Structure 1
Amino acid sequence: MCRIVIFGNSCTGKTSLATSLGKDLMIPVYHLDLWFRDKNMQRIKQLRRRKRNFRRKLDKVVKQKEWIIEGWGYCETYDIRFEKADVIIFLDLSPEECKKRLMNRENYRKKDGTVDKRTLNNQSLCILILVNVNNF
């Protein structure tokens, strides 16, 4: 089993790392930001109801044998994610570095909304990895 949580501030490389790990390990990747921005989720106007739906969806995912879940916030779901994870990766960059990365990402955003990652600079990164020994 391999259940990985990746979190950190915006523009720290969570999505890139999760996508890369998912391909290398052949594990499904779940991007929480995409869930919250999903059109079906946005139709739910009441925030409390939206959060309940979000949590139910997450409950289903964490019951699977393998997964990678990435997302920066959603503090109300830390308990679900962290308890079930085998590995927790926290990407820690300074606010100044995050701002630089955001500006780079926006400067290289294509008309279709995607980013040409080849043009982004690889910056230094501090990673804290926690392994949940109770799950082994």
Structure 2
Amino acid sequence: MKIMIIGHSGCGKSTLASYISKMKRIPLLHLDQVYFNTGWQPREREEALAIVKQQLENESWVIEGNYQNLYQKERLEQADQIIFLDFPRLSCLKRVIQRYNRYRGKTRPDMAVGCIEKLDVEFIWWILYKGRDKKKRQAFNRIERNYKDKLRIIRNQKELDMFYTIFDET
């Protein structure tokens, strides 16, 4: 089983990916851990690509994160299921604020070591606008159009809760 989880910042991609990985005993890769090194410094591109490529060679995997430049096309092609968390902007912002309060001064389990949780104007702008600009919407629309047979879109917490319930039964 190969599962790709994409979506907006703050939707719960990492939490869902960790849950699926644990329940199905499937190797998990958080792309934020691949992209960033300590202190939010980007990892060397070739090293990041090698990490993702190695994960793609596994028989089963869960890969969480968007990052078009980290073999997104290959992930889309190989995935048996693509889960797109498409929560409203303000829901994402609320969740990010809650996450910040929980992890303030710490590194989240799904982040690279030394990437202390932060919430600044730039990130808020990303959540509300830049992460949903025309180019990003077009990219998600292409995924929806080209992979509709294996795409599951979850638009709010109620739908996500239902997904967890159904997933528990499988």
Query: How do residues 1-136 of structure 1 correspond to structure 2 at under 5 angstroms?
Result: 2-39=1-38, 42=41, 50-71=44-65, 73-76=66-69, 77-109=71-103, 111-114=105-108, 124=157, 126=159
Does structure 2 conserve the Cα–Cα contact (< 8 Å) formed by 1:93 and 1:126?
no
**Higher relative helix content:** 2
Distance 1:6 1:87 in 2: 9
Contact 1:7 1:91 survives alignment (8 Å): yes
Partners of 1:104 and 1:52 in 2: CA distance: 34
Cα distance per residue 1:22-69 (max 9 Å; x no partner)? 111011111110112234x9486xxxxx22321222112111101100
Structure 2's unaligned 5+ residue stretches are 110-155, 164-170
For 2:68, give the aligned amino acid.
C
Unaligned runs of 5+ in 1: 45-49, 116-122, 130-136
Contact 2:17 2:64 (8 Å CA) reproduced: yes
Secondary structure at 2:93 match in 1? helix
Is the Cα contact below 8 Å between 2:36 and 2:42 reproduced in 1? no
Question: RMSD value over aligned CA atoms?
Answer: 2.5
Asked if 1 retains the 8 angstrom alpha-carbon contact of 2:35 and 2:42, the reply is no
Shift in CA distance, 56/111, structure 1 to aligned 2, threshold 3 Å: closer
Structure-1 residue corresponding to 2:137:
none
Cα deviation code 1:2-39 (max 9, x no counterpart)? 01100101110011001111111011111110112234
TM-score if structure 1 supplies the norm length?
Answer: 0.72
